[in-house]
């Protein structure tokens, strides 16, 4: 069984993540679209930390004997990988769009004549 202190600390830390993400959305510093994965991460980890029997059961399913909280680490790492992969796709899209913007700007300047580049 997971030590109680680990469960409490895990639940508090995960739930803090949820609150921070919500505050970032509220203050317009994080778009909902990019917040969803973070919220899923925080809520899942909060749930797994608080639901101690469940964590035990899942640890049994995946063959983790002796120290169930290892499942928390595994799930956390999986989510972080998902977030990173998501951001890689976002960065790829942004860099494509940046190229298009620069090209469109160059074409526009050419159309406006030399004055625009002075």
Partner 1 sequence: MRGPVPDTAVTTSPAGALRGLSDLRRVAIVPALNEAGALPAVIDELRAFDPGLDVVVVDDGSVDRTAAVARSMGARVLRLPFNLGIGGAVQTGFRFAFENDYDLAVRVDGDGQHDPSQLGLLIAPVLAGEADIVVGSRFAADADGYRSSRTRRIGIRLLARVVSGIVGQRVTDTTSGFQALNKHGIALFARDYPHDYPEVEATVMVFRHRLRLIEVPVSMRERGSGRSSITSLRSVYYMVKVLLAIFVGLFRRNVVPQEDAR
Site string for partner 1, 45-84 (x = CB under 8 A): ----------------------------------------
Scanning the structure block, which residue is given the tokens 């600390």? 9
Residues 6+ positions from 8 with CB-CB distance below 8 Å:
49
Q: Mask: binding to partner 1, 86-115, rule CB under 8 A, as x and -?
A: ----------xx--xx--x-----------
| Phi, psi (degrees; rounded to nearest 5) at 2 | -65, 135
**Nearest distance, CB of residue 53 and partner 1, angstroms:** 28
The span from the CA of 91 to the CA of 83, in Å, is: 12
For residue 75, the minimal CB distance to partner 1 (Å) is 20
């Amino acid at each position: 069984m997971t030590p109680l202190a680990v469960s409490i600390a895990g639940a508090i830390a995960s739930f803090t993540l949820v609150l921070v993400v919500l505050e970032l959305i509220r203050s317009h510093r994080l778009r909902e679209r990019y917040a969803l994965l973070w919220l899923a991460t925080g809520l899942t980890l909060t749930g797994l930390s608080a639901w101690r029997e469940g964590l035990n059961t899942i640890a049994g399913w995946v063959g983790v004997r002796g120290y169930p909280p290892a499942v928390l680490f595994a799930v956390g790492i999986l989510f972080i990988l998902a977030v990173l992969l998501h951001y890689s796709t976002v960065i790829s899209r942004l860099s494509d769009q940046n190229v298009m913007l620069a090209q469109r700007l160059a074409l526009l300047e050419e159309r406006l004549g030399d004055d625009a580049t002075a």
